[in-house]
Structure 1
Amino acid sequence: MSTTTNQDHDGADFTTGEGLRALLNRLYEAGKGAWASDPAARELMAFAAEKYTPLARKHGLDPWEAASAAFDAMQYASTRRADDPWAMVTHGVRITCIFEERAQGLLCSVHQARRPHVSAFHDPERFGDRDNPLTDYHPAFHVTDPSSADAETGTSADAGDGGGSGGSDRACMSAESASEDAIGLLCLLGWAPETARASVEHVCGALMRAGTRQSAYEGLRRDRHARALLDLPRASWTVLLRALLGNPHPAYAATSAGKGVLLRLLIGETLPVLLRDDDLVLSLSLAAPRRRPAGG
C-alpha cells in the first residue's frame, strides 16, 4: 500500500484526529453519495478495517463488521465535534462489537441484545458442555461461611484506613483518585459528566459513613431520596451500585463483579483494565440515563 493512501486529497492525514475531522466535515458537506464516490472515503474505510481487526477478532467478528460500526460512528455530528474523533469512533466500535458478540451468544438480534432485560441472561449452555458437574460451578449450589465473608470485609475496610494515622493522607489520596477514575469510567460509557460526578461522590460519601461496602450497598439500595435527588431511574441506580460497590452475593466475593469498581481501583487496577471488562462495560453502558433535550 502506498504511503500516500492515508491522506485526503487536500493533504490532511486522516489517521490523526484533526485529519479525520477535516475529512468527515468535507464528506458531510458534500452530501449524499460522497462516501461512495470519494477515493479518500474508501481509503478511510480500508484503514478502519485494518485498525479495528484486533478488536473484531477479540469478539469473534469479521474486520469489516468493525469497519461497518466505525462507518456508523463517523456519521454522528458528535464525532466531528469531539476533541478526539478517533477516540469517539473507537468507543463506538467497541460497544457495537460487545453487543454483536452478546447477540451471537444469546442467539438473538443485535437490537434485542441491546435491551437490558435480554442482555441480563447468560448464553445458552448445555449441561454436558462442561466436564465438571453443575454443583461445582453454579452459584445456586455454593455454600459460604458468613463469618469469613465478614472478616474479609473488615480486612478490606482496615486496609482502606491506611494502617493508622501515618497512612491516612495516602489513603485519602488513593480514595480521591479512585473516585475520579470511577467518574471518568462512567463518562466514557455514556453517562452525563454531572450525573456521573454527583452519583459517585454520593456513593463514596455513603461508603465512608457505613464503613463496609455491603452496608453501604444495602443502605443506598433502599435510599429512595438519594435516587430522586440524583434523578436516576431505578434500573440505572441498581446497576450503578453493583458496579461501584460490587455484587453483595457471597458467591461473587472473590470475583471482579463482587469487588466493585471502587475497590478494584484502590487495589491497583487502572481504567484501561476496567474497560476490558466486557460485562462491566456492557452493564454500565446499558444503564446510562438518557439525556433530556435542552429545551425539555
Structure 2
Amino acid sequence: MTTNTTNTAGPEYVSGAGLRALLRRLHAAGERAWVDDPVAAELMRFCAEKYGALARKHGLDPWEAASAAFDVMRTRSAREAHDPWGVVTHAVRITCIAEERAQGLLCSTHQARRPHISAFHDAERISDRETPLWAYHPAFQVTDPEPDTDPAGGSADNGDGGGGVRAGMSASSAMEDAIALVTMLGWEPATARASVEHICGALAKAGARHTAYETLRRDQHARALLDLPGRSWTVLLKALLGTPHPALAATPAGRGVLLRLLIGETLPVLLRDDDLVLTLCLAVPTQRRR
C-alpha cells in the first residue's frame, strides 16, 4: 500500500486521509476532545488560513469560515467521506454565501438558505438612492381614472393626456403663464414667446404630450428657426411637456409646466420648484452673432 509523501513535512490533517483519521479520533474521544486536544486547535487555525480568502470575498472574518468548517467537521458525512476536505470546503462556501445573503437581507442565515427568501434583493435604505422614493416607486404613481368635467359639463382634459383642469384656467392662460415663467428665468422674451407658442401649437395638433414631445424633439427645422441650441431646446421641451419616462408620469417632472398650470399650480408654486428653476436657468440660450 502506497502512502502520501507530499505532506510528510506538514501536519497529518493536511491530507484527506489524515483529516479523516483525526476527525474519527476526536469523535471517539468525546466532545471535550475538541477543547483539550492541541491538534484540534491547530486544525482550526489551519482552517482560518485556508478559508480566509473565501471569507473575505463574502465580507466575512476568516474565523467565521473556520467556525463553519468546525460545524461540518463534527458531522458523520465529513468523518466518512472519501474526500473530507472537499466536503468541508463545499460546506464552508455555501455557509459564506448564506451569511452574506443574510447580512444583505437582514435575516438569519437559516432563512437566507431558503430559495424563496434568498431570491429577494438586499435591503436598502430610502436615503441610499439619489432619486426620491415617490419619483420611481409604483405605489406613488397615481393617475386620474377619468378626466374631470368643468361646470358646463364639458371635458376638462384639453387633450393633454394628463388629468383635469381647474375651473377658469384656459389653455391660452397656461401658455401665457409658461411664457412669463421662462422669461423670468432669464430667457429673452421674444425667444421665450416664440418657443412656447410653437410647442403649444404642436401640442394642440398632436393631442398628447408624449406624441408632441417626440415630434418636436426630432424637429430640427423648428429649432433652427427659433435659433436654439440643441440642449436648450431639449430642456425646454422636457420642462413644458414633461419627461416622457413612464415611471415619472405622475411626478412634477413628468407632468411638465403646461399640465401643472392647467391642474391648478400657479407661478409662485412653480418658482419654488428648485429643480425646474435651475434646469431652465442653466439652459438659457446664449446670444449668437449673426
Higher percent of residues as helix: 1
TM-score range with shorter-chain normalisation?
0.3 to 0.5
TM-score, normalised with respect to structure 1: 0.46
TM-score, normalised with respect to structure 2: 0.46
